[in-house]
Amino acid sequence: MIHAVGPRQGEGDEARKLAGATRASLEIADSLGLESVALPAVSSGIFGVPLPLCARTMLGTAVDYLSHGRHSLGEVEFCLFDNNALREFEQALDAILDSAQG
Protein backbone atom coordinates (compact mmCIF):
# COMPACT_ATOMS: atom_id res chain seq x y z
CA MET A 1 0.00 0.00 0.00
CA ILE A 2 1.19 3.53 -0.81
CA HIS A 3 0.97 6.20 1.89
CA ALA A 4 1.16 9.96 1.56
CA VAL A 5 2.45 11.40 4.83
CA GLY A 6 2.24 15.06 5.81
CA PRO A 7 5.00 17.17 7.34
CA ARG A 8 5.78 18.01 10.95
CA GLN A 9 5.75 21.67 11.95
CA GLY A 10 9.27 23.02 12.21
CA GLU A 11 10.80 20.80 9.51
CA GLY A 12 10.63 23.64 7.02
CA ASP A 13 8.66 24.05 3.79
CA GLU A 14 5.53 22.66 5.45
CA ALA A 15 3.08 24.14 2.91
CA ARG A 16 4.90 22.58 -0.06
CA LYS A 17 5.16 19.22 1.69
CA LEU A 18 1.50 19.30 2.73
CA ALA A 19 0.43 20.21 -0.81
CA GLY A 20 2.51 17.30 -2.11
CA ALA A 21 0.94 14.86 0.34
CA THR A 22 -2.54 16.09 -0.57
CA ARG A 23 -1.87 15.86 -4.31
CA ALA A 24 -0.36 12.38 -3.89
CA SER A 25 -3.48 11.26 -2.00
CA LEU A 26 -5.74 12.59 -4.75
CA GLU A 27 -3.59 10.99 -7.45
CA ILE A 28 -3.71 7.63 -5.66
CA ALA A 29 -7.50 7.83 -5.34
CA ASP A 30 -7.72 8.79 -9.01
CA SER A 31 -5.42 5.94 -10.09
CA LEU A 32 -7.77 3.52 -8.32
CA GLY A 33 -10.71 4.96 -10.24
CA LEU A 34 -12.43 6.25 -7.11
CA GLU A 35 -15.26 8.73 -7.51
CA SER A 36 -14.87 10.16 -4.02
CA VAL A 37 -12.25 10.32 -1.31
CA ALA A 38 -12.21 11.53 2.30
CA LEU A 39 -9.12 13.20 3.74
CA PRO A 40 -8.33 14.25 7.31
CA ALA A 41 -6.77 17.61 8.17
CA VAL A 42 -3.30 16.14 7.58
CA SER A 43 -0.54 17.22 9.97
CA SER A 44 -2.79 19.59 11.97
CA GLY A 45 -2.90 17.31 15.01
CA ILE A 46 0.20 15.98 16.73
CA PHE A 47 2.40 17.07 13.80
CA GLY A 48 1.59 20.68 14.78
CA VAL A 49 0.92 22.33 11.42
CA PRO A 50 -1.35 25.34 12.13
CA LEU A 51 -4.93 24.65 11.11
CA PRO A 52 -5.26 27.78 8.89
CA LEU A 53 -2.18 26.71 6.90
CA CYS A 54 -3.50 23.17 6.66
CA ALA A 55 -6.93 24.33 5.45
CA ARG A 56 -5.58 26.78 2.85
CA THR A 57 -3.03 24.32 1.53
CA MET A 58 -5.18 21.21 1.36
CA LEU A 59 -8.23 22.98 -0.06
CA GLY A 60 -6.18 24.96 -2.56
CA THR A 61 -4.50 21.77 -3.75
CA ALA A 62 -7.82 19.92 -4.03
CA VAL A 63 -9.51 22.77 -5.93
CA ASP A 64 -6.55 23.00 -8.29
CA TYR A 65 -6.47 19.23 -8.84
CA LEU A 66 -10.20 18.97 -9.51
CA SER A 67 -10.13 22.01 -11.84
CA HIS A 68 -7.50 20.65 -14.21
CA GLY A 69 -7.35 17.59 -16.39
CA ARG A 70 -9.42 14.47 -16.50
CA HIS A 71 -9.95 12.44 -13.37
CA SER A 72 -12.40 10.01 -11.82
CA LEU A 73 -12.89 12.04 -8.64
CA GLY A 74 -16.14 13.93 -8.34
CA GLU A 75 -15.98 14.60 -4.60
CA VAL A 76 -13.26 15.28 -2.04
CA GLU A 77 -14.56 15.30 1.52
CA PHE A 78 -12.56 16.63 4.46
CA CYS A 79 -13.07 14.83 7.77
CA LEU A 80 -12.55 17.40 10.51
CA PHE A 81 -12.31 16.86 14.24
CA ASP A 82 -14.28 19.80 15.62
CA ASN A 83 -16.25 22.97 14.84
CA ASN A 84 -13.10 25.09 14.97
CA ALA A 85 -11.56 23.01 12.18
CA LEU A 86 -14.80 23.27 10.21
CA ARG A 87 -14.76 27.08 10.51
CA GLU A 88 -11.13 27.26 9.38
CA PHE A 89 -11.85 25.09 6.35
CA GLU A 90 -15.00 27.08 5.50
CA GLN A 91 -13.09 30.38 5.70
CA ALA A 92 -10.23 29.03 3.62
CA LEU A 93 -12.61 27.70 0.97
CA ASP A 94 -14.47 31.02 0.82
CA ALA A 95 -11.16 32.86 0.31
CA ILE A 96 -10.03 30.43 -2.40
CA LEU A 97 -13.33 30.71 -4.27
CA ASP A 98 -13.39 34.51 -3.91
CA SER A 99 -9.88 34.81 -5.35
CA ALA A 100 -10.79 32.51 -8.23
CA GLN A 101 -13.78 34.69 -9.13
CA GLY A 102 -12.03 38.05 -8.77
Could you report the per-residue pLDDT of 38-85, keeping only the tens digit for each?
999 999 999 999 999 999 999 999 999 999 989 999 999 999 999 999
Share of the chain above pLDDT 70, in %: 96
Q: Is residue 82 part of a domain?
A: yes
Whole-model pTM?
A: 0.91
d(CA 102, CA 100) in angstroms, rounded, equals 6
CATH number at residue 37: 3.40.220.10
List b or e across 17-37, with b for residues whose CB sees 16 or more CB atoms inside 10 angstroms: bbbbbbbebbeebbeeeeeeb
Q: Is residue 2 part of a domain?
A: no
Average pLDDT over residues 16-20: 95
Q: What is the mean pLDDT of the chain?
A: 93
Residue 77 domain boundaries: 14-101
Domain tally, the chain: 1
